[in-house]
Amino acid sequence: METRLNRLRATMAEKNYDVMLVSQGENRRYMSGFTGSTGYLFIAREQALLLTDFRYTEQATLQAPEFEVRQVAGGLGSWLPDAVKQLGGKRVAFDENHVTYAMFQALTKAVADTGAELTPDSETVEMLRAVKEPSEIGAIHRAQDLTGDAYEHVYAGMHPGMTEQQVAWELEKYIHEHGGEGLAFETIVAAGPNAAKPHHHPTGTVIREGEPIVLDFGAKVDGYCADMTRTVCLGKQDDQFKKIYDLVLGAQLTAEALIKTGITGEEADGYARKVITDAGYGDNFGHSLGHGIGLYVHEYPRVAQRATNVLQDGMVFSNEPGVYITGWGGVRIEDLLTLEAGKVRNITKASKLQTA
């Protein structure tokens, strides 16, 4: 964690922050290693405090050796002024995207007599998280492998007459029974016309032969998320399914072949979008090509239209074009990619449907 602290402190110096308050769960874990549900990090140029309640002090001491762990009780006003005074900071930055208005009011009141100035900050820690360390990529890889294993196992046993909810449960059960610590997000199983809704919630809808079925899910391993989508068809595939599936697969493979270090998220998105638009289905691809993934299922970098962020070695992100047709269904295919030495490496091993 010392390297992460140094990187954050370098950014703090650039932004003229004396102290950085980190309260959001994934950011707190990233900066300290502490996995408890409650706690605050106060990071200064030479000191780092982790403040939490009695439930977590022993855990925090073990998990966050670079931090001085302090047990606190009561509201912010009862302990925050002493922490700010100890660190001696005049500009205290807080993440404006994760601090509620009520918490902002409490922070303002708590620092009123300390001489410190609260400074809103936007996503400094998230930007550090965007470039993954080898150990992080390894954890994502393990989570993606487990997700792929779950897919292969469940797909082999799928049959018409099952419901979306039954398939979702089988995927989730496999993950829990084979070492996953949980799910990265709520599982999507969308059959037939429901597959036209990118974030459909599984229902009692019965799966029928010959219709598209979108499976989008992910395991979580060692705190890191996976994300994978496969679209399948049980029984004979009709011409519409083959046409749309091959179009989406072609767009995905085109993006994978062309994405490289140094391009913007918008350029990456454009590679796949052009394939689908040129085929006349641009209006049916309404979401971004992808998103970063790590401790949270949607994080930096953005891989989307108007995404100006530059893709760098060490970033991990999804490649998930889709086409959705109301009344018929949809097709989405998603892998996770990472950039290494300027080039893409696909870390998703699960098989894809063959339509030929």
pLDDT band for position 331 (cuts 50, 70, 90): very high
Q: How far apart are CA 145 and CA 107, in angstroms?
A: 43
Class of domain 2-129: alpha beta
Decide: 187 and 166 in contact? Cβ < 8 Å.
no
Tokens of 173: 């059960």
Instruction: Name the helix (H) or strand (E) containing 313.
Output: none
The whole-number pLDDT of residue 1 equals: 66
Q: What long-range pairs does 153-162 form, CB within 8 A, spacing at least 24? A: 154/215, 155/215, 155/230, 155/232, 158/207, 158/213, 158/232, 158/234, 159/207, 159/234, 160/206, 160/207, 160/208, 160/209, 160/234, 160/235, 161/206, 161/207, 162/206, 162/207
Does residue 31 come out as left (phi exceeding 0), alpha (psi in the -120 to 50 range) or beta? alpha
Phi and psi at 344, nearest 5°, equal: -80, 140
What's the CATH fold of domain 134-346?
A: Creatine Amidinohydrolase (3.90.230)
* Other residues' Cβ atoms within 10 Å of the Cβ of residue 325: 16
180-237 pLDDT, tens digit per residue, is: 999 999 999 999 999 999 999 999 999 999 999 999 999 999 999 999 999 999 999 9
Q: How confident is the model at residue 356 (pLDDT cuts 50, 70, 90)?
A: low
Domain ranges across the chain? 2-129, 134-346
First to last CA, the chain: 50
- Indicate the residue type of 223: G
Q: b vs e for 63-98, b when ≥16 Cβ sit within 10 Å of the residue's Cβ?
A: bbeebebbebeeebeebbbebbeebebeebbbbeeb
